[in-house]
């Protein structure tokens, strides 16, 4: 175990850029708690991390772009699904820091001029929507583009795993240190921490909560089926530990992550996620997103219905953002029955 101060000092030594609004708020949700009949629910508002409508990737990019800048990069290459929050936040961060941004996005069922893709376009990123699946082929394509940019005299940095996932884990040890301080301030000691993740976010929460010897148990909800997800998360946690010079070994058995709320697949809505999104909007005025956070909330609601918690338990739900994606789902979400 190390102290919060010590953890923060180790994090401060990793190259970073100042692009977000931190600390993000920790907000109690009494009307949501009441609607669900307990336990006590708080939401950690990573959706309020500032840059370009916020989200968990702002904290992550604090370190990935920090890494790029420390290596002298002048251009960032990224790519993922066409409604990627990570890509939108990357484009915004590049504009804030005066870097070129190249996005290579996989063509999919939401490659429409709405949501994140609309914002990528607004930010003026160099965008190419390619007929490649979101996965290893797209990662290879990003690396090839970087080689081409190098031959043209640019200094590109590719946002890709495992480096990006490890730096995300560093970022979320910082987030858990924030939660640690906020709990002290609020006089609470949560039992569980729920979040949408199958990568660096959960890795950092698992690592940080263990290092700080916190009571809360992080629980991840996957937005996508990811083969080898436990290795991916534990490897990211252990790489972050080594970047932070912390002697610890996170095992796959330390990680709890559910695939049960994905539905038909990544980016496809479920009935439960639509009801979760509406419930949180109508009780707390907080907007979840349909791809990640509403599915994670659907899981928390289901676990409450299964009586997995005591009424006196305290849960923190880490809201990872994704707000713009909502607008790419207007047809699925707009309820015109009252018109």
Question: From the CB of 32, what's the least distance to ligand PLP, in Å?
Answer: 19
The footprint of ligand PLP on residues 105-134 (CB under 6 A) is none
Q: Decide: is 239 part of the binding site for ligand PLP (CB under 6 A).
A: no
Using the rule CB under 6 A, give the single segment among 1-9, 55-63, 103-111, 258-266 that binds ligand PLP.
55-63
Say how many C-beta atoms besides its own lie within 10 A of residue 210's C-beta. Answer: 19
3 state DSSP class of 78: strand
337 in catalytic set: no
Rounded CA separation 71/127 (Å): 24
Whose Cβ is closer to ligand PLP: residue 10's or residue 59's?
59
Say how many C-beta atoms besides its own lie within 10 A of residue 199's C-beta. Answer: 24
Whose Cβ is closer to ligand PLP: residue 127's or residue 149's?
127
Using a 10 angstrom Cβ sphere, with 0-12 exposed, 13-18 middle and 19 or more buried, the burial of residue 217 is middle
Question: From the CB of 291, what's the least distance to ligand PLP, in Å?
Answer: 7
Rounded CA separation 202/216 (Å): 13
Residues in contact with ligand PLP, shown as a per-residue x/- string from 56 to 85 under the rule CB under 6 A: xx---------------------------x
CA dihedral 261, 266, 267, 268 (to 10 degrees): -60
The footprint of ligand PLP on residues 313-332 (CB under 6 A) is 320-322
| Alpha-carbon distances, residue 89 vs 29, 53, 69, 81, 188 (angstroms) | 27, 8, 16, 13, 32
Residues in contact with ligand PLP, shown as a per-residue x/- string from 86 to 105 under the rule CB under 6 A: x-------------------
What tokens does 213 get? 């010897």
Q: Decide: is 200 part of the binding site for ligand PLP (CB under 6 A).
A: yes
Footprint on this chain of ligand PLP (rule: CB under 6 A): 55-57, 85-86, 168, 196-202, 289, 292, 320-322
């Amino acid at each position: 175990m190390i102290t919060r101060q010590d953890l923060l000092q180790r994090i401060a030594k990793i190259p970073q850029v100042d692009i977000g609004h931190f600390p993000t708020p920790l907000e109690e949700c009494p009307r949501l708690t009441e609607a669900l009949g307990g336990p006590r629910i708080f939401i950690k508002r990573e959706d309020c991390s500032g840059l370009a409508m916020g989200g968990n990737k702002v904290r992550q990019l604090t370190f990935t772009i920090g890494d790029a800048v420390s290596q002298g990069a002048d251009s960032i290459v990224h790519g993922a699904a066409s409604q990627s929050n990570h890509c939108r936040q990357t484009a915004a961060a590049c504009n804030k820091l005066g870097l070129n941004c190249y996005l290579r996005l996989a063509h999919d069922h939401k490659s429409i001029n709405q949501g994140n893709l609309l914002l990528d376009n607004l930010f003026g990123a160099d965008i190419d929507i390619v007929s490649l699946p979101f996965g290893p082929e797209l990662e290879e394509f990003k690396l090839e583009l970087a080689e081409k940019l190098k031959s043209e005299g640019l200094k590109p940095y590719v946002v890709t795993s495992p480096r990006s996932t490890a730096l995300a884990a560093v970022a979320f040890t910082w987030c858990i240190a924030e939660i640690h301080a906020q709990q002290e301030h609020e006089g609470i000691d949560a039992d569980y921490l729920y979040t949408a993740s199958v990568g660096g976010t959960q890795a950092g929460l698992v690592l940080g909560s263990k290092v700080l010897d916190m009571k809360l148990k992080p629980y991840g909800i996957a937005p996508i089926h990811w083969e080898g997800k436990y290795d991916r998360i534990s490897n990211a946690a252990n790489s972050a530990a080594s970047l932070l010079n912390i002697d610890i070994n996170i095992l796959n058995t330390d990680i709890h992550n559910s695939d049960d709320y994905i539905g038909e697949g990544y980016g496809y809505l479920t009935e439960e996620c639509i009801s979760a999104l509406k419930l949180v909007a109508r009780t707390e005025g907080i907007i979840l997103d349909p791809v990640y956070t509403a599915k994670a909330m659907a899981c928390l609601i289901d676990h409450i219905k299964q009586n997995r918690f005591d009424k006196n338990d305290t849960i923190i739900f880490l809201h990872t953002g994704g707000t713009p994606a909502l607008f790419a789902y207007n047809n699925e979400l707009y309820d015109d029955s009252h018109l």
